[in-house]
Amino acid sequence: MTISEILAQPEHSRFSLELLPPLKGQHIDSIYRAMDALSAFEPAFVDVTYHREEYVYREVGPGLLQKRTVRKRPGTVGICAALMNRYDVETVPHIICGGFSVEETENALIDLDFVGVRNVLALRGDAIRSEGRFKAEADGHAFAIDLVDQIVDLNKGIYLDPDLKNTMATDFCIGVAGYPEKHFEAPNPDSDLRWLKKKVEHGAEYIITQMFFDNKRYFDFVNRCRAEGIDVPIIPGIKPLTTASQLHILPQVFHVDLPEALVQSVEAAKTRDQVKKAGMDWCTQQAEELLEQGVPTLHFYTMGKAMPTQEIARRVFGHVKA
Ligand code: FAD
């Protein structure tokens, strides 16, 4: 089923989540453990992130460094297929522009189609960790909208090779990212919204937001989107803050503001458990208010830790089902 079809059902689950592939060398069991903890809430769908290559430097002799290119969290497609098999849940692999030529993207989409994946989240991706700015591959896409176009073409049976005849058309439902607090590179919120609108006009069927900690940011964003004529579902992405260090890491990495009341409650916490409780209490309040306002689903960024999400889902949805 596509995400659009799921969201169109009046009684669909209001719980969805994002998982990270385990670090290379680790077993898929960590993913299964997370799903075992969360599948009781019958997630509407499960996103699986994609992690591009990084550069690492290894000492190979006195004063001699060797640069190597590694992908620390491979396995996105395999995890999606495994979860669909094991939990009978719709999965949404994240597809990024960075590090992919258009040909590689096409082949990746064919793989996804063959394993029965019907949904993708089309993203540009971030810069390589050690590089300041995102650089597209010479024969790759520079923006998510270009990736949306390629997927839409494939959905029409249009492949890169014009000589292919009687081609199979894929049927992907495409989601894209939106930023209630503006994408950090966008010169202003209006231009960011203009490009978001174009992604939708080009074929995106829903938007998942960057995490936010102040619901007002989300409600304002939705109002601005609606005023601009963006009428697809806008799924709020939320994350419980779990450590005191995240007070500084989250704004740095995700370019989001943390409300002063949340900051103060975390600063007042004396133990790690108290910090976790403060973060979960905050996220629970956010979740309850968002649900009251009728959001399409609550999308939890688990970041590899199922427990806080499980506890919040239990508080918000009750013991078992979302
Ligand atoms: P785009 O939509 O391409 O926008 C990038 C910037 O360019 C914006 O400032 C936009 O305003 C502007 N812009 C857009 N189109 C154009 C255009 N045609 N011309 C000029 N300017 C334009 N990253 C990963 O690497 N892996 C993941 O799995 C992943 N998952 C994510 C999931 C969600 C829900 C979100 C919100 C983000 C995720 N990211 C992930 C991070 C994302 O890749 C980065 O935020 C990235 O910097 C931007 O991606 P985008 O798809 O929003 O880019």
Mean residue pLDDT of the chain comes to 96
- CATH code at 193? 3.20.20.220
Residue with CA at minimum distance from ligand 1 atom 51: 123
Does 276 fall in a domain? Answer: yes
How far does residue 179's CA lie from ligand 1's centre (Å)?
Answer: 9
Task: Indicate the DSSP class of residue 213.
Answer: S
**9-67 pLDDT per residue, tens:** 999 999 999 999 999 999 999 999 999 999 999 999 999 999 999 899 989 999 899 99
Model confidence, pTM? 0.97
Does 89 fall in a domain? Answer: yes
Per the structure, the complete domain to which residue 53 belongs is given by 3-317
Q: Looking at the predicted structure, is the pLDDT value of residue 2 above 70?
A: yes
* % of the chain at pLDDT higher than 70: 99
Q: Looking at the predicted structure, is the pLDDT value of residue 132 above 90?
A: no
Residue pair 47/37 in contact by the 8 Å Cβ criterion = no
The angle formed by the CA atoms of residues 309, 310 and 316, to the nearest 5 degrees, is 85
Does 250 fall in a domain? Answer: yes
**50-62 pLDDT per residue, tens:** 999 989 998 999 9
Q: How far apart are CA 237 and CA 250, in angstroms?
A: 14
Q: At what angle do helices 189-201 and 144-155 cross, to 10 degrees?
A: 10
Residue with CA at minimum distance from ligand 1 atom 25: 125
Q: How far apart are CA 111 and CA 35, in angstroms?
A: 23
Q: Looking at the predicted structure, is the pLDDT value of residue 149 above 70?
A: yes
Does 322 fall in a domain? Answer: no
Q: Which residue, 301, 297, 246, 309, is CA-closest to 20?
A: 301
Query: DSSP letters of 102-144?
Result: HHHHHHHHHHHHHTT--EEEEE--PPPTTSSS----TTS-SSH
Residues 6+ apart with CB under 8 A from 285: none
Ligand 1 neighbour 126 (Cβ under 6 A): yes
Ligand 1 neighbour 250 (Cβ under 6 A): no
Number of independent structural domains in the chain:
1
Does 28 fall in a domain? Answer: yes
